[in-house]
Amino acid sequence: MDYEKILAEFELDGKPVSCDTFGNGLINNTFLVTTDRGKKYILQRVSEEAFKDVPALMENISGVTEFLEAKARAEGTEAHVIGPVRTADGSTFVREDGYFRVTPFAENTISIEAPETDDDFHECAVAFGTFISDLADYPAETLHETIPNFHNTVDRFRIFHEALERAEADPELAPRIEEAKHEIDFALGRESEAGILQEMRESGELPTRVTHNDTKLNNVLLDAKTRKLRYVIDLDTVMPGLAHYDYGDCIRFGASTASEDEKDLSKVECDMHLFEVFTRGFISACSDLSDREIEMLPLGAKTITLELAVRFLTDYLDGDRYFATKYPGHNLARCRCQMQLVRDMEKKWDEMNRIVASLVK
260 binds ligand GN1 (CB under 6 A): yes
- Nearer to ligand GN1 among residue 260 and residue 276 (C-beta): 260
308 binds, among Mg ion, ligand GN1, none (CB under 5 to 8 A by kind): ligand GN1
26 binds, among ligand GN1, Mg ion, none (CB under 5 to 8 A by kind): ligand GN1
Among 200, 183, 194, residue whose Cα is nearest residue 157: 194
Cα(180)–Cα(202) distance, integer angstroms = 32
CA dihedral 82, 87, 90, 91 (to 10 degrees): -80
Answer for which of 214, 260, 269, 271 binds Mg ion (CB under 5 A) is 214
120 binds ligand GN1 (CB under 6 A): no
261 binds ligand GN1 (CB under 6 A): no
318 binds Mg ion (CB under 5 A): no
- Nearer to Mg ion among residue 186 and residue 323 (C-beta): 323
Number of residues this chain uses to bind ligand GN1 (CB under 6 A)? 11
Alpha-carbon distances of 210 from 63, 137, 145, 334, rounded to whole Å: 12, 9, 11, 28
Contact 197, 242 (CB under 8 A): yes
246 binds ligand GN1 (CB under 6 A): no
Interaction with ligand GN1 in 202-241: which residues (CB under 6 A)?
214, 216, 234, 236-237
CB of 237 to Mg ion, least distance (A): 6
Alpha-carbon distances of 168 from 164, 184, 329, rounded to whole Å: 6, 13, 18
CB of 222 to ligand GN1, least distance (A): 17
In what side-by-side order are the strands of the sheet with 94-96? 16-21, 29-35, 40-46, 98-104, 94-96
308 binds ligand GN1 (CB under 6 A): yes
- Nearer to Mg ion among residue 232 and residue 299 (C-beta): 232
234 binds Mg ion (CB under 5 A): yes
In what side-by-side order are the strands of the sheet with 109-111? 109-111, 220-223, 229-232
- Nearer to ligand GN1 among residue 216 and residue 302 (C-beta): 216
Answer for which of 1, 19, 26, 196 binds ligand GN1 (CB under 6 A) is 26
307 binds Mg ion (CB under 5 A): no
249 binds Mg ion (CB under 5 A): no
Contact letters for ligand GN1, residues 46-85 (x by CB under 6 A)? ----x-----------------------------------
**Which amino acid is present at 120?**
D
293 binds, among ligand GN1, Mg ion, none (CB under 5 to 8 A by kind): none
**Site residues for ligand GN1 per CB under 6 A:** 25-27, 50, 214, 216, 234, 236-237, 260, 308
| Interacting residue ranges for Mg ion, rule: CB under 5 A | 214, 234
